[in-house]
Chains A and B, each alone.
Chain A
Amino acid sequence: MTERYGYWDRILHVDLTEGRTWTESLGDDWFRRFGGGRALIAHYLLTATPPGVDAFSPDNILVFAPGVATGAPVPGAGRHSVGGKSPLNNGYGEGESGGYWGAELKRAGWDGIVVHGAAATPTYVWIKDGDVEIRDGSHLWGKVSGDVEDILREELGEQRCRITQCGPAGEKLVRYALVSNDLNEVAGRTGMGAVMGSKKLKAIAVRGTQPVPIADKAGLMSIAKWVSSTLDENHRGFHEYGTGGAMQGKNLEGGMPTLNYREGRFEQIALVDAIAVAEQYRVDMGACYACSVRCKKVVAVEARQEDAGLTRKGKAINVDPEGRWRVDPRYGGPEYESLAALGPSVGVADLVAVLKSNELCNALGIDTISTGTTIAWAMEAWEKNLLTAQDTGGMELNWGDGGTVVKLIEMIANREGFGDLLAEGSERAAAKVGKGSERFLTTVKGMEMAMHDPRHMERMRGSYLTAPTGGDHMQQHEYKNGGRNQVGLCHFLAYSDQQSLDLINSVTGWGMDQAEWEQVSDRGLAMARLFNMREGTTRADDRLPARFEEALPMHPGLSPESQSEIVTEYYVRHGWDGETGIPTEATMNALGLGSYKAARAAIPV
């Protein structure tokens, strides 16, 4: 056996139909060329699912994909992806998450989990290092994530196990249901929670006790030290406020998604940004595995004055001035996307309502971006009389009504009444409602766009247009974040290109150079593209919705021609056909993707 650092070369397969598990070795070469993350997901989508597979069919797979850096003791290395065929975009599905679960999986000796088939009755999986058990999960079905975590830790007798799960919304196949881990971290996008629910897999609990082997511990330590000793210069904003500390700046620039992206400024922005959260309801800052940046807000609100007290750390918990809601700190706090999607995007300036909405999305298991955006679409349809009280069961959908948003979240997660329509996502809902309501959709490839207006932010244009998942803001369509995705490294760390490379090399001992590192990302992108095209995506899907052709007061609209130019440039730069976006044969050969040629041949013409 060669010396192996950063990974184990062990993929766990779990077949829920047959109730069996097995281990696969992909080989050392695979890990060096692909890293993990997106490439691991795309590898199995291309090789283990039939073309045209339905997202909710047992033939779909669900892949839990850390990368070679995940679990290394260095800031940012606590990330993993969750992927499969998406019920939202009908193509490549993936959400990424932080926290501790991914690192725990690595420490249990696994580089990924591929879930096949579907169980007949609710199930969960328990992994303790090398031991894997498929167990009955009937008692967990229908429960919110906090209860599931309590029950499992108790019954497994392992207070330190880490748990990932789909919420009640995933069980109900809400198309943008998320997979959460550690209660406050989510793989939010593309509906992977619904795929998990369709397999009747409620949770995966993991306990790992083996440190991931590291090639150059001293080198890695010096990178970790650099982060903690330069926190002030490089991560001050994140450290103090987490994301959302600059919403007022975005607003000044006229780029704050407001009222379903119709406007670029929200007058009450200072009531719902991360500064307001910190001043009123934030009780702590949390971290992901091994990260000294500690950028995760933890919020708490009490509904009644008599319950207001101090947290265990002595921080005062404030009360909802209207006495409506308690917000449980177990579910963390809102990131920028959640603040924006559940605040300005739906016109809500009621901070406690935003915090409650965020908590419910986590506990019930729906993506805050798609949730807020789908509600924003419905509110605009209501305003224009395209939806009426008859459709909503008597509910009014007025901009700015935080109580309505909270109520709708529960209805969506439970597919109750009018919530059943919204649980389909805005694009499918608009197709049902018709009457021109499609005109104010803000989806790309069926997925609701994140809270960065591409008219304001030039660098988001390419991300929304070409990200394999659709309306995704993570800029993982380029090598920088794409590569981090595949090795399991957080985008927020201000590592330079050289530092990222040093980090990977310290973990793995590979001695990669920049060119090799960029190819790692190019492979993942080409594979995800192949999968999308196999499933029917074409160039026509690489476009922004009509709303973005309209100008904002401070930013011009984006013409279809200007979008097309971005797309062509992107295809060509990645060695894909400049017209169709199919990775060319030469590119496939240069990247060593010959084993995926069958998928290329299966692309419908």
Chain B
Amino acid sequence: MPNQEQQTQSLPPVRLRVALHADLRRFLPQGVNGAFPVEIRTGATVSDLLEALGIPDRETITVGLNGELATRESELHDSDDITMFSPMEGG
């Protein structure tokens, strides 16, 4: 029987739409301005997504998953909408 790792690797990846805001916009792929598609392995979490996008995980980054607050452990599913924000204050 294949172990869990092999099982998830053989599943098709999940497709997400990701939007990066405020200071996180520097991690946007070249030429992208708005939301962009990302594929990630089945079973991946918000933490894994941050890593895949090369965003150093800071406590202050807020992640929205389909319009609700996500945690780093929230699991991602096909067609999920992800929004990420760094804090901006003042004014």
What residues of A have a CB within 8 angstroms of the CB of B67 in the complex?
A: 252
Q: How large, as a class, is the contact surface on chain B?
A: 20 to 34
Task: State whether A236 touches B26 (Cβ < 8 A).
Answer: yes
Task: State whether A275 touches B21 (Cβ < 8 A).
Answer: yes
What residues of B have a CB within 8 angstroms of the CB of A232 in the complex?
A: 26
Cβ 8 A contact of B26, one of A233, A243, A245, A254: A233
Report how far A452 CA is from B89 CA in the complex, Å. 8
Q: Tell whether A491 is near chain B: CB-to-CB under 8 Å.
A: yes
Task: State whether A246 touches B26 (Cβ < 8 A).
Answer: no
Please, what's the 1-or-0 string for A216-245, where 1 marks a CB less than 8 Å from any CB in chain B? 000000000000000011111110111111
Task: State whether A243 touches B85 (Cβ < 8 A).
Answer: no
Task: Tell me which of A234, A248, A249 has the highest count of chain B C-beta atoms within 10 A of its own C-beta.
Answer: A249
Task: State whether A245 touches B91 (Cβ < 8 A).
Answer: no
Q: A237-B23, A252-B68 are in contact. Are A243 and B62 (CB under 8 A)?
A: no
Task: State whether B89 touches A243 (Cβ < 8 A).
Answer: yes
Cβ 8 A contact of B91, one of A248, A254, A275, A335: A335
Task: State whether B21 touches A248 (Cβ < 8 A).
Answer: yes
Cβ 8 A contact of A252, one of B69, B86, B89, B90: B69
Report how far A234 CA is from B26 CA in the complex, Å. 9
* Chain B, range 30-73, C-beta contacts under 8 Å to A: 62-64, 67-69
Report how far A238 CA is from B87 CA in the complex, Å. 11
Q: How large, as a class, is the contact surface on chain A?
A: 20 to 34
Cβ 8 A contact of A249, one of B25, B64, B68, B90: B64
Task: State whether B64 touches A252 (Cβ < 8 A).
Answer: yes
Closest to B83 in A: A248
Q: A246-B62, A248-B83, A252-B62 are in contact. Are A237 and B89 (CB under 8 A)?
A: no
Q: A243-B88, A491-B90 are in contact. Are A237 and B62 (CB under 8 A)?
A: no
Cβ 8 A contact of B88, one of A237, A252, A473, A554: A237
Q: Tell whether B11 is near chain A: CB-to-CB under 8 Å.
A: no
Closest to B23 in A: A237
Q: Tell whether A253 is near chain B: CB-to-CB under 8 Å.
A: yes
Q: Tell whether A338 is near chain B: CB-to-CB under 8 Å.
A: yes
Task: State whether B23 touches A236 (Cβ < 8 A).
Answer: yes
Please, what's the 1-or-0 string for A322-343, where 1 marks a CB less than 8 Å from any CB in chain B? 0000000000000111100000
Task: State whether A237 touches B22 (Cβ < 8 A).
Answer: yes
What residues of A have a CB within 8 angstroms of the CB of B26 in the complex?
A: 232-233, 236
Query: What is the CB-to-nearest-CB distance from A534 to chain B, in angstroms, rounded to a whole number?
Result: 30
Task: State whether A237 touches B69 (Cβ < 8 A).
Answer: no
What residues of B have a CB within 8 angstroms of the CB of A243 in the complex?
A: 88-91
* Chain B, range 1-29, C-beta contacts under 8 Å to A: 21-26
* Chain A, range 424-453, C-beta contacts under 8 Å to B: 452
Task: State whether A246 touches B68 (Cβ < 8 A).
Answer: no
Q: Tell whether A474 is near chain B: CB-to-CB under 8 Å.
A: yes
- Other than the given A243-B88, A245-B22, A246-B88, 6 more pairs (CB < 8 A) read A246-B22, A248-B83, A249-B84, A452-B89, A473-B90, A491-B90
Binding site for B on A (CB under 8 A): 232-238, 240-246, 248-250, 252-254, 275, 335-338, 452, 473-474, 491-492, 554
**A-B contacts, 24 listed (Cβ < 8 Å):** A232-B26, A236-B25, A236-B26, A237-B25, A241-B88, A243-B91, A244-B91, A245-B21, A246-B21, A246-B86, A246-B87, A249-B86, A252-B62, A252-B69, A252-B85, A253-B69, A275-B21, A335-B91, A336-B88, A336-B89, A337-B90, A338-B91, A473-B90, A492-B90
Binding site for A on B (CB under 8 A): 21-26, 62-64, 67-69, 83-91
What 4 pairs between A and B have smallest CB-CB spacing?
A: A249-B85, A335-B91, A237-B22, A243-B91
